[in-house]
Structure 1
């Protein structure tokens, strides 16, 4: 009889969730640490903050691939960057002194002395889907409704801004 009871055991329920969902950015550094260490990155912060370090213009044209540092030294390393295309590599070559200075300022010490460029296809930055139809025909009833809604707003510049906002929201794609 005792054996029959063991065979019909109810499956254990999962433990209750504690806490809140975690953002992927918070988990990324810990999950990617082994792969990043093979590339010479001591942390994911250089990759995650690349746009803030070098500026949006240069970040759109390049991405850090690897940091090469001599054994036993923390300074004088080489930063390997991937450029999106040939003209991006040329522009990056001209901006190398500024890139070195900004990266070293980010680290707080002269970690990088050289920059090596490689060219390759970069993952395209996805642009958000346009929510407003560019060439939507003017609708007199919609415009009249928006005018009625903003009629009692005092300052004319605020009234115009609210009317533009109302127009944009009303033309939004479903």
Structure 2
């Protein structure tokens, strides 16, 4: 006896339940930017903005991270591409193990395995002006900021709080 051919029907995918809560765009469109970022070797913004903290002011003046390229399907042991000014390239090549170590410490895992150096002009980043002199923040606000570990974020929040506190008397009051 031969069995009749087996007929299978695919079940339609169920749509996720709708909710009225706000969701990040990255959840809604996860693959939109992936190809473009991969093509251009997107470097995490924090690496670029904190390059001086990672490698030190001396080396940050003569180098700039350009991209990190990972092996296909991997997120570790990538190649960090640096742009280095003029004759500083041999020095940067000499200290490349230390740079790799510092970048990996910044990421918290072995993100970079190799360093590739390219001669070029390093654009000087505009130095952010110091924050204006503001009134001291209230004790209550100071207490709420104690739990923040990131000093940069804490300074920005303190400046915001004191700016708001100094603007309140100017607004006037309607009784």
TM-score by length of 2: 0.49
Is the radius of gyration larger for structure 1 or structure 2?
1
More helix by share: 1
